[in-house]
């Protein structure tokens, strides 16, 4: 019983530390556009990106530069982990509406 309690406490501790250490950023998909179209995140830091698809139709967040590909069904939110990345500009687009759904992740030193 004491062992289980220790494991639980350890698990909670690790989980809380991880959550606290991962900055969260949010992007909306509305009318097949990403909002904001440019997002600035800190360099050398893993971030958690919450992408809310406010449209009724699915969209796919895709970026070869970020090595990410994630379908977000209409009216749902997807979680995408990015980084740690060196400073630079990382484009992404919506696979289902590539002409309108475009954005960039700008990675900068010291940004938060």
Q: What residues line the site for another protein (CB under 8 A)?
A: 46, 58, 60, 64, 67-71, 73, 78-83, 85-86, 95-98
Say if CB 48 and CB 79 are below 8 A apart.
yes
* Nearest to another protein of 7, 19 (CB atom): 19
Q: Is 83 left (phi over 0), alpha (psi -120 to 50) or beta?
A: left
Please report how close the Cβ of residue 98 comes to another protein at its closest, in angstroms: 6
Residues 73, 62, 78: CA angle, nearest 5 degrees = 35
Nearer to another protein, 38 or 69 (CB): 69
| Distance set, CA 24 to CA 2, 39, 95, 98, 112 (Å) | 35, 12, 23, 25, 10
Q: How far is the CB of 82 from another protein (least distance, A)?
A: 7
Nearer to another protein by C-beta: 36 or 74?
Answer: 74
Closer Cβ to another protein, 5 or 49, answer by number: 49
**Least CB distance from residue 8 to another protein, whole Å?**
20
């Amino acid at each position: 019983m004491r062992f289980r309690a220790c494991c639980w406490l350890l698990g909670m501790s690790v989980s809380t530390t991880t959550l606290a250490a991962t900055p969260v950023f949010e992007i909306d998909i509305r009318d097949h556009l990403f909002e904001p179209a440019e997002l600035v995140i800190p360099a050398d830091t893993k971030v958690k990106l919450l992408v809310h698809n406010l449209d009724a139709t699915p969209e796919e967040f895709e970026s070869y530069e970020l090595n990410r590909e994630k379908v977000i069904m209409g009216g749902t939110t997807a979680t995408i982990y990015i980084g740690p990345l060196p400073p630079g500009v990382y484009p992404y687009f919506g696979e289902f509406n590539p002409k309108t759904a475009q954005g960039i992740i700008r990675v900068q030193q010291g940004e938060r």
